[in-house]
Chain A
């Protein structure tokens, strides 16, 4: 009688693999994993619609829900001071933009940009029926959906689908671990990396014949740091959506994507090493990521959209300590980035947008912090044709004008998206956002 097949060498109850004392937690990521198909037109290795001098959009996610009121402070508003007896900023401390609004002093870097005409501050950005869950509201911002709809593709992903057929895989780059939902698309494009050294086939080290062998398997010569050849399998031409119905097999798809990984990995490392940063950046993760972005832009990658994330904005307790530090890091890093881009001759091509899943409540809570809210300001920074200044009416903080104690939105965030899509990236926005949203006078 045949012995049971798979039980002979097993000892299921052996628990040596688990260190008994240690408990390992799995952090719950706000940015999810999700399906990401890869664009596979044969022209992927050449730039079709992305030009090396084309406009670039840099998105910075402020993860956690940035408190707009303590960033762009309505310093002459009594309701603000009444609602925030301990965490409110004093009028004397704010960097005044006009008679009513001023920046938190941590945003000195932003003030320079504003004064130099490179920043627009959009008041009261949000959406109807705001959701106050990190997960769900982030999803809404990433997919540009109405609050009662559930989309899986991201708005940038739909931009890639609509405007980037045959684009290079590096047309979208996320500096981070996994693609954000904003990039999720039907013909997925875009790569994620923490740094050029990690986005590659990792051999054992220098003079590593393992890596050389890997390259030669993909048709590149072992000495050649630039894989350009065919993978040896059939790479079929595709049109339209990527499904395997178009005569392409799963193997073809894998061949193509593998080749793209190899080529984009080499290209990024080349570019990142070719250019040097000029400006002095502050110390920190965001600054490091922006340094890399500056080099990739100046090095001529065909990337159109960069995505970065800065965490730590979920300031339920002791907000002044944490939010001020986050804002300072943000402003100082962005200022250095714009200085760098200017010195590298690239600033006029770049527009940046910050966004956060929600603002925070008007009234402080009992822990010298604030809880999840709704509308908040957005910062747009740009070196080319940006209409600097304050956009949109300052939201009223009178209790009667609040919604459940939260700021009502005046500008739908999809108007901001529409503006950047149409006027900066020069692509129609209706198909991408589902309908037409009014644009704002930001560009041109």
Chain B
């Protein structure tokens, strides 16, 4: 546990001394702000529905870039020889790095709270769907980041890691369209694997325990895979 904290601390520092956290944050917040303004102007509706959905989509593009460095760069620079030969488990390393990405994401999310605050100041929004929407937003982003961390474990090339992560996330997005293409329970089952489709319920104010469970297992599986990939490298 302590080791997770040490890895996390260094990783967060790496995010915030490099332009990475700022540039990605700026892009995310700029697009979020655009969606907030344009949707609010169009609907005159004091709700975050639709806005959060678009923010989630933007983050789907941001997450692989935010995480592609994490494990790939350690390997490129040879610093993995330090952390892998320290008395620290691979799980601690992967989880620490993942949490650092998650922390950065949470900073972004915290900043976007200005939008609900604006709604409260000038309107009378229903807070329920906003809270559940943010919970969904958090779970969705956490899932994207787990895919990114996993992709970063596959290669020592950041670019390649980013592209793989992006491809995987696109796949988990378009799986949601399966319902329209394949009828019956098969299409339904495939669509249920989609990262974004699950998110819709949260926006509407529904917290479905199975969706929460889905996101948590999704994260767990990809972090587990990342640990396995790194562990298996010792045998190559």
Partners in one complex: no
